[in-house]
Structure 1
Amino acid sequence: MSVQQVISGLQRAWNAGDGSAFAEHFSEEADLVDVVGRLQRGRAEIARQHRHLFDTVYRGSRNEFRLLDQREVAPGVLLAHTSSTLHVPVGPRAGETRSIQTLIVQDGLITAFHNTIRADFAEFERGA
């Protein structure tokens, strides 16, 4: 499975609100660091955490992933960067959030995923 197919699958699963389908794109022993810095270890934990998110704070949300770049860092191991735009209709996270992700993909599955919210640097410098 190509990196583009992986992120397309992530997007479909997110938009369906399906935490198990989202986690299917990760290896059994994958690591995921979410936007608030929590480390999720293993496909089962990634599924559990995402089921919870889709049932609560991100209920009804839509996410758009875009592949920015990819390169082979070892035979069969790809490093990729993606960006995403998350649309949340209601609740404490209502609105739009832009993020960037770093992925390591091996044998068509994500083995490592780091997600970071993009913020305005001027606001960051002011402490806003």
Structure 2
Amino acid sequence: MIQIRQPEDALRAFQAAWNSHDMESFGALFHDDATFVNRFGHYVRGVAAIIKLHAPIHATIYSDSTLENELIDVVAIHEDAAVMHFWSRLTVGAAHPAGSHAVDTLILAVLTRQAGEWRIKALENVTLTNPRTGEAVLRGGRSL
């Protein structure tokens, strides 16, 4: 697992844990009482719930998925707290019922440092959609 020595490291650690489909490593990125809102608006609290939300999809429809993250910004709000925004492109393969495709999301993560370790305290994931049609879009204006 990638060590999170500064908030920006969470971007690569999140991507690496996702792409390895190791949900224990994924869960280790979060504080015990962290909250997570997935791209469908499903809210959970706590590492066990975050893992429970992700483990079944990583064993099935996302088993051949990859994630590619791109940092937008990190804003320090305290010496031990930061807000980070990043783009995330999820590419799924044949394991997904809809077949191979990509989805872009915008992620907001709040990170805090406790006992010298940075971890995610809260994360929210929003799917990019056309506001007039509801159709998912990729960054750059291309439709999926």
TM-score after normalising by structure 1: 0.90
Q: Could you tell me how far 1:122 is from its partner in structure 2?
A: 4.3
Report 1 or 2 for greater relative contact order, CA contacts < 8 Å, sequence distance ≥ 6.
1
In structure 1, distance between residues paired with 2:134 and 2:21: 31
The correspondence for 1:13, drawn from 17, 38, 45, is: 17
- What do you get for the CA RMSD once the two structures are aligned? 1.5
Which ranges of structure 2 fall in alignment gaps of 5 or more residues?
136-144
2:52 aligned with 1:48, yes or no?
A: yes
2:47 aligned with 1:37, yes or no?
A: no
For 2:74, the equivalent position in structure 1 comes to 70
In structure 1, distance between residues paired with 2:131 and 2:41: 19
The correspondence for 2:62, drawn from 58, 63, 68, is: 58
Higher helix share: 1
Aligned counterparts, 1:79-90, within 5 A: 79-90=83-94
> What is the number of equivalent residue pairs in this alignment?
125
Check the 8 A contact 1:35/1:115 in 2, yes or no: yes
Aligned-pair identity in percent equals 24
Check the 8 A contact 1:20/1:51 in 2, yes or no: no
In structure 2, distance between residues paired with 1:69 and 1:45: 27
Check the 8 A contact 1:20/1:48 in 2, yes or no: no
Check the 8 A contact 1:86/1:96 in 2, yes or no: yes
In structure 2, distance between residues paired with 1:15 and 1:124: 28
Letter aligned with residue 101 of structure 2? G
The correspondence for 1:28, drawn from 23, 32, 43, is: 32
Which ranges of structure 1 fall in alignment gaps of 5 or more residues?
none
TM-score after normalising by structure 2: 0.81
